[in-house]
């Protein structure tokens, strides 16, 4: 047997060592990753080197039938993300376009994909600054990436990263941060031939409108009760490089709540994702608030508005009314609009019309000029007049 034959056999054996079957993953961190990717939120996996972050992304891309484009952030220059200036024939009139790199062009041509930025914590501050527009605005130079492109990154803690840096607060605040760990039992089973595969949760179409309405109510009610958490940047550099609450990350939390409800996602997965978006304390508080609130389906409320009682606590009242108005906005009709006023009138009957003031203004803005004013609107005449809603 020749040396060439021996090498060919060696290649066959190498391929066989890499062959394995897969089964659905059963970990909350994998479910949180799938939830955030389904919601098309940028995700950052934090974990020690060699624990399978990159392999997980390969499995996820395969499960989604998406092309995977890997970019090692630490070995690129800022211009690889902000674009290289290309002088045109008439720069005075046409300007100087910023040419994107080849990986961005490939992703844009495909129209969808999983864009994976690896070794993010090893990228120097200048590269992190250049990545800001890529992650949030999906722009690489003059090229805009398609909305169907999902963005995931991975980073090692600065202590174990090569020339590690803390993430800058503006970049960190653009990600859902997930702590990625390994389970020795999973590793043992994987090396025996079976690895877990990340699967994206299935959205139930019939739950979509109600899920969004409930999520809006939950976030509005929570931030009314805890206004100090609307924006709170930590004091130390390490904490600023992870998840913390801001209006941007609260929008992430809203989307995560919506998708978790529409998919009937696992509580642990939702909790991990919320913590990854708005921080440990706020994330767990929001999860507890949502569970204790237990908002009913707003579509059921609108179908029989007289049958539902207003909650007793002010923050829960606001959440309930916000969810109802959001449901009317999702599918506006005269019948649902009138039912919304019946629900808001319960706040007047309970002696707390101030709680329903904001909801009343939002509901009034949805009125079709052809619809007559319902009698319940009389209780909010002064508020609507001051806001200008009556004139509109």
User: What is the tally of structural domains in the chain?
Assistant: 2
Determine how β-strand 194-197 pairs with β-strand 176-179: unpaired
Examine residue 180 and state whether it is found in any structural domain, yes or no: no
For residue 156, give Cα distances in angstroms to 7, 234, 327: 36, 21, 42
pLDDT band at 82; cut points 50, 70, 90: confident
- pTM for this model (two decimals): 0.87
Question: Mean per-residue pLDDT for 87-114?
Answer: 83
What is the structure's pLDDT at 282? Answer: 95
From 114, 140, 174, the end of a domain falls on 174
pLDDT band at 310; cut points 50, 70, 90: confident
Which residues make beta-bridge pairs with 118? 72
Asked if 210 and 146 touch (Cβ cutoff 8 Å), the reply is: no
pLDDT band at 373; cut points 50, 70, 90: confident
Examine residue 127 and state whether it is found in any structural domain, yes or no: yes
Examine residue 332 and state whether it is found in any structural domain, yes or no: yes
Span 116-134, pLDDT tens digits: 999 888 888 899 999 998 9
158 vs 116, higher pLDDT: 116
Asked if 139 and 104 touch (Cβ cutoff 8 Å), the reply is: no
Least confident of 39-53, 64-78, 92-106, 270-284: 92-106
**DSSP at 41:** -
What is the structure's pLDDT at 160? Answer: 59
Q: CA end-to-end span of the chain, whole Å?
A: 88
Range of the domain at 382: 295-392
Least confident of 119-128, 172-181, 308-317: 308-317
Span 250-297, pLDDT tens digits: 999 999 999 999 999 999 999 999 999 999 999 999 999 999 888 888
What is the structure's pLDDT at 159? Answer: 63
336 vs 386, higher pLDDT: 336
Examine residue 264 and state whether it is found in any structural domain, yes or no: no
Asked if 325 and 340 touch (Cβ cutoff 8 Å), the reply is: yes
pLDDT above 60: residue 174? yes
CATH number (domain holding residue 66): 3.40.50.300
From 157, 174, 191, the end of a domain falls on 174
Examine residue 269 and state whether it is found in any structural domain, yes or no: no
Which residues make beta-bridge pairs with 152? 43, 116
Determine how β-strand 194-197 pairs with β-strand 21-24: parallel
For residue 66, report the phi and psi dihedrals to the nearest 5 degrees: -110, 140
């Amino acid at each position: 047997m020749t040396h060439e034959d021996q090498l060919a056999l060696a290649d066959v054996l190498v391929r066989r060592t890499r062959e394995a079957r897969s089964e659905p993953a059963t970990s909350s961190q994998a479910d949180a990753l799938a939830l955030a990717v389904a919601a098309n939120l940028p995700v950052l996996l934090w974990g020690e080197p060699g624990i399978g972050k990159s392999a997980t992304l390969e499995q996820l891309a395969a499960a989604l039938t998406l092309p995977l484009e890997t970019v090692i952030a630490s070995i690129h220059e800022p211009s690889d993300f902000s674009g290289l200036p290309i002088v045109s024939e008439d720069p005075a009139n046409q300007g100087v376009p910023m040419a994107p790199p080849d990986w961005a062009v490939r992703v844009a041509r495909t129209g969808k994909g999983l864009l994976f930025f690896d070794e993010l914590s090893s990228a120097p501050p200048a590269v992190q600054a250049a990545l800001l527009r890529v992650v949030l605005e999906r722009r690489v130079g003059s090229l805009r990436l398609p909305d169907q492109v999902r963005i995931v990154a991975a980073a090692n803690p600065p202590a174990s990263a090569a020339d590690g840096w803390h993430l800058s607060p503006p970049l960190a605040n653009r990600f859902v941060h997930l702590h990625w760990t390994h389970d020795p039992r999973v590793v043992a089973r994987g090396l025996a031939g079976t690895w877990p595969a990340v699967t994206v949760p299935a959205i139930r179409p019939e739950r979509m409108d109600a899920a969004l309405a409930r999520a809006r109510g939950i976030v509005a009610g929570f931030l009314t009760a805890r206004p100090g958490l609307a924006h709170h940047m930590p004091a130390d550099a390490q904490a600023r490089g992870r998840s913390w609450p801001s209006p941007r990350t609260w929008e992430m939390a809203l989307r995560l709540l919506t998708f978790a409800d529409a998919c009937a996602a696992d509580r642990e997965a939702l909790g991990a994702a919320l913590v990854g978006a708005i921080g440990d304390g706020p994330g767990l508080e929001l999860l507890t608030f949502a569970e204790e609130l237990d908002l009913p389906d707003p579509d059921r409320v609108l179908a029989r508005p007289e049958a539902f009682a207003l909650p007793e606590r002010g923050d829960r009242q606001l959440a309930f009314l916000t969810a109802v108005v959001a449901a009317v906005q999702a599918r506006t009709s005269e019948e649902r609009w009138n039912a919304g006023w019946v629900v808001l009138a319960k706040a007047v009957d309970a002696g707390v019309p101030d709680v329903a003031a904001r909801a009343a203004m939002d509901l009034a803005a949805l009125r079709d000029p052809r619809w007559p004013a319902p009698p319940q609107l009389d209780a909010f005449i002064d508020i609507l007049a001051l806001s200008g809603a009556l004139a509109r």
